[in-house]
Structure 1
């Protein structure tokens, strides 16, 4: 959390060949794939939401708006940060930003998650 107690989290990813656009099928270049970068940003939102959940609750993603702005090669590092920007009962909206090891902005956007009862959610399947 930040000093003002706004829920937030950071997740660090050392980019491997398994994270590339080639590996995830989103392109043919050996750089960090957009789906992998979005997954990293979502991972940060999940971590940021943990302190907002009661026992038996989890969050599910409902909306992603994300711009992938700069390539990251294998061997590079990306840090995704998420911060709660808005809460309306069960709805959580996070701002997300990812930077590489040199401080360049790699991607940014907004991810919306909803708090659900995990058992009830799975019972719907």
Structure 2
């Protein structure tokens, strides 16, 4: 059975499209929504790691569906949908007040920290 994990974020002014230069309006930027999603999946996969491992994002396919104002609370849910060796796949959804604002498919790989940093 695959695991699910939920994490809560509050949109900061520094995370708006206007602030990061990805748009001209003061709403949650797509890059920050993606960061929320990756962070949630990273926390979920951490249950699978030993002390010498970490995980890295290798793919994300995202749809940003609705704007989100500063100070709004975003609930992100990551559900593991597949595991193939050290590659894990997640379906991730982001909500504000139960309204879907974003969805993604995300892949993470488990890697040895030391070997990864040598590259």
Q: What is the TM-score with the length of structure 1 in the denominator?
A: 0.91
Q: What is the TM-score with the length of structure 2 in the denominator?
A: 0.96
Provide structure 2 residue ranges, at least 5 long, that are not aligned to the other structure: none
Does the 8 Å contact 1:7/1:49 carry over to 2?
no
Q: Determine the structure 1 residue equivalent to 2:118.
A: 123
Provide structure 1 residue ranges, at least 5 long, that are not aligned to the other structure: none
Structure 2 CA distance for aligned equivalents of residues 66 and 49 of structure 1: 19
Deviation at 1:51?
1.0
The secondary structure found in structure 1 opposite 2:35 is helix
Q: How many residues align?
A: 119
**Are residues 1:51 and 2:51 paired?**
no
Does the 8 Å contact 1:97/1:108 carry over to 2?
yes
Does the 8 Å contact 1:8/1:45 carry over to 2?
no
Moved over 6 A (4+): none
The secondary structure found in structure 1 opposite 2:51 is coil
Deviation at 1:9?
1.8
**Backbone CA RMSD of aligned residues:** 1.0
